[in-house]
Amino acid sequence: MRADDPSARNEEMARKYFGTDGIRGRTNASVLTPEIAMKAGMAAGRIFTRGAHRHRVVIGKDTRLSGYMIENALVAGFTAVGMDVFQFGPLPTPAVAMLTRSLRADIGVMITASHNPYHDNGIKFFGPDGQKLSDAVEEEIEHLMDSGLESGLTTGTGIGRAKRIDDSQSRYIEFAKYTFPRNLRLDGLRIVIDCANGAAYKVAPEVLWELGADIVSMGVSPDGLNINLDCGSTAPQAMCAKVREVRADFGIALDGDADRVVMADEQGQIIDGDQILALIAKSWSKNDMLKGGGVVGTVMSNAGLDRYLNGLKLKLARASVGDRYVLEEMHKGGFNVGGEQSGHIILSDFSTTGDGLIAALQVLAVIAQEGKPASAAAHLYEPLPQVLENVRFKKGSPLDDAKVKSSIDAARARLGDNGRVLVRKSGTEPLIRVMAEGEDEKTVRAVVRAIAGAIEEVAA
């Protein structure tokens, strides 16, 4: 195994508002304020006003308290530049992407901070094709936001209108069921579904129930403050415990906007994004559905996945961390399956972005078809020891410090050709992520702690 992965993009983008996944931050204490949201709506509206037709934007959100405030600010911005707004209310991010295309909107918006706590929020933009915007378009939006927007305001009958769409959830429910093989049912399967008190709290249990499963729901009582709180894909222990408690056959934990998923077998053992990629690759390859001769993962994907796919004569293409970079690699190589270890799984035959529920349905289809317990069907390889530690910093660039650089070099030398080290800044939080992987877990933990310790000294 090479000591280094293909270099990841620097996740701390040199931009004022946008990070690796839209605009995100602590509400009213960072770049995420009503004023910024309104300017973003005005700027994006101007850029996507193309042609003489009546222009349309769709807006969905998760269940955060601040979603009402950000939504109203965005509506003001879009209508001010002449766009009509369709408001969906709580709905998964992939549903907004799908409905952007379905309703032939000029732009789609999701108000969410994904897996972050309730006090954060964010704005994700989708183009008319339902795909996230490129870096170049985001930079164009930023430029407009700071260069004066008054000249783009409409007056009189040109001002946009806003309308709530009441059946958006039922549209997504039907779409999600469409992705599940018509000859299969989930009858006889007891499934725990944890919706993280987030955007999928209504639609996910309904889809599984309509497909015949016996549902045990968790995280379906949002109060604006409890999104991702000790639940969902970032805290799957609660879901795993419930699986064991009710003797379920399977567990599903979504995050706050339902674009990522972590699963559990009947023993409450975690099934992460890498294992999901392995299972779908095996199944789709067998059924001649897999394109590109393999799947796209990221620099974080476990080497065990790479070895497993090699055994199937399939390849693992690695992209930088971030689902839009995974999608870029998928387009480049003609792949239709890609994803991240964290559970962002993109199945481009169905969706233009990560969709936790649809990924779970593909895994459930294999379980239903094979008649095997999830522990046998979904654990296809033994992952190599991999350790990740996040180090919070307040300011500056700790990775530029000589001591930190020296600790990274020492770690790579210690692991040699039997391991790898990846150190990167997060684009969504003030964190530096330190990851190492190798044959010996004790050694891996030691090198990660050494690097993290060096960063902590500099960041203190």
Looking at the chain, the number of H-run helices and the number of E-run strands are 14, 19
Which of the 8 DSSP states describes residue 132?
Answer: B
Please identify which of the residues 7, 30, 114, 168 carries the catalytic annotation: 114
Alpha-carbon distance 21 to 459, whole Å?
Answer: 25
Q: Please return the burial class of 119, using the count of CB atoms within 10 Å of its CB with bins 0-12, 13-18 and 19+.
A: middle
**Under 8 Å CB-to-CB from 179, ≥6 apart: which residues?**
347, 350, 358, 361, 362
Query: Which token pair is 373?
Result: 């317990």
Residue 264's alpha-carbon distances to 57, 243, 253, 261, 450, in angstroms, are 37, 8, 8, 10, 32
CA 406 to chain centre: 33
Q: Which of 94, 87, 90 is nearest to 41 (CA)?
A: 87
Q: Is 114 tagged catalytic?
A: yes
How wide is the angle at C-alpha 15 spanned by C-alphas 9 and 19, nearest 5°? Answer: 60
Q: How far is CA 102 from CA 82, 97, 168, 183, in A?
A: 21, 9, 11, 26
Per-residue CA distances from 359 to 341, 346, 389 (Å): 13, 8, 27
Which residues have C-beta within 8 Å of that of residue 157, sequence separation ≥ 6? none
Q: Classify burial at 395, counting beta carbons within 10 Å of its beta carbon; exposed 0-12, middle 13-18, buried 19 or more.
A: exposed
CA angle 386/391/394 to nearest 5° reads: 160
Per DSSP, 104 falls in state T
- How far, in Å, CA of 329 to CA of 326, rounded? 5
Q: Cβ–Cβ contacts within 10 Å for residue 143, how many?
A: 12
Q: DSSP letters of 343-360? A: S-EEETTT-SS--HHHHH
| Residue 199 near residue 62 (C-beta atoms within 8 A) | yes
Could you give the CA distance from residue 187 to residue 202 in angstroms, rounded to a whole number? Answer: 20
**Is-contact 97 351, C-beta < 8 A?**
yes
Residues tagged active-site: 114
